[in-house]
């Protein structure tokens, strides 16, 4: 499973962009999200401001966009 961040326009629900989380960050991601079981990683999650800032550092991409919401999603390969 890999994880992506989908960023949606808060007014139109349109997908603005998707950002891949590097696979070498999977253990860090589990800690950041507070996952307790392997099943936790398959759900979608709204991201907090603090989580977004950390994920921006990990990905080198701007995630905190004006009038947007960021969600973490697990995707089967």
Domain span at residue 53 reads 2-75
Side by side, the strands of the sheet bearing 68-75 are 15-20, 2-9, 68-75, 45-46
Please give the Cα distance from 43 to 23 (Å, whole number).
Answer: 17
> Number of folded domains in the chain?
1
The reported pLDDT for the residue numbered 17 is 96
Q: Does the pLDDT at position 77 exceed 90?
A: no
The reported pLDDT for the residue numbered 76 is 87
The CATH number of the domain holding residue 29 is: 3.10.50.20
Please give the Cα distance from 1 to 76 (Å, whole number).
Answer: 5
Q: Does the pLDDT at position 73 exceed 80?
A: yes
Tens digits of residue pLDDT in 10-57: 999 999 999 999 999 999 999 999 999 989 999 999 999 999 999 999
């Amino acid at each position: 499973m890999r994880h992506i961040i989908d960023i949606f326009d808060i007014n139109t629900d349109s997908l603005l962009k998707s950002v891949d989380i590097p696979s070498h960050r999977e253990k860090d991601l589990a800690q950041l999200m507070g996952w307790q079981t392997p099943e936790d990683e398959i759900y979608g999650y709204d991201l907090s401001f603090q989580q977004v800032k950390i994920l921006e550092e990990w990905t080198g991409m701007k995630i905190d966009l004006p009038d947007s919401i960021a969600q973490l999603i697990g995707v089967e390969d």
